[in-house]
């Protein structure tokens, strides 16, 4: 069972955990303007999960494009209140 924890899936998990901790630290700071970085980290985490855990990296083009379009749309939508 432990052998499974030496693969790329586990390294992805390590990356996700560190990204989460980083964004939490940034969030605790509570400085204005940090919000966009936090959002970016969250979206990157989403994309990593979609690509590796959900195995979209090996999926047909329509699926890869749909997922990326969704991420891009959310990035634009959720960052819009912070533009001005």
Partner 1 sequence: MTIAQATQIESEHVPGDKDVWVFVLGEMVIFSSYFFVYACLNRSVNEPVFAASRHHLNQTLALVNTLILLTSSLLIALSVQATRKRDYRVATRFVELGAGCGVLFLLLKGYEWYAKLSQGITLGTNAFFMHYFVMTGVHVLHVLIGLVFLAILRLELRTRAQPRVSLMEVGATYWHMVDFLWFLIFALLYLMR
Residues that bind partner 1 (CB under 8 A): 1, 4-5, 7, 9-10, 12-13, 16-17, 20-21, 23-24, 26-28, 30, 32, 35, 38-39, 41-43, 45-46, 49-50, 52-56, 58-60, 63, 66-67, 70, 73-74, 77-78, 80-81
**Least distance (Å) between residue 26 CB and partner 1:** 7
Give residue 32's region: left, alpha or beta (phi > 0; psi -120 to 50). Answer: beta
DSSP string, 3-51: GGGGSHHHHHHHHHHHHHHHHHHHHHHT-TTHHHHHHHHHHHHHHHIII
**Least distance (Å) between residue 57 CB and partner 1:** 9
């Amino acid at each position: 069972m432990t052998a499974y924890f030496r693969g790329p899936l586990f390294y992805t998990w390590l990356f996700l955990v560190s990204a989460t901790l980083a964004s939490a630290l940034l969030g605790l700071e509570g400085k204005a303007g940090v919000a966009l970085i936090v959002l970016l980290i969250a979206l990157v985490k989403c994309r990593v999960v979609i690509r590796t855990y959900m195995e979209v990296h090996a999926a047909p083009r329509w699926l890869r494009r749909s997922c990326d379009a969704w991420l891009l749309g959310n990035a634009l939508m959720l960052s819009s209140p912070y533009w001005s």
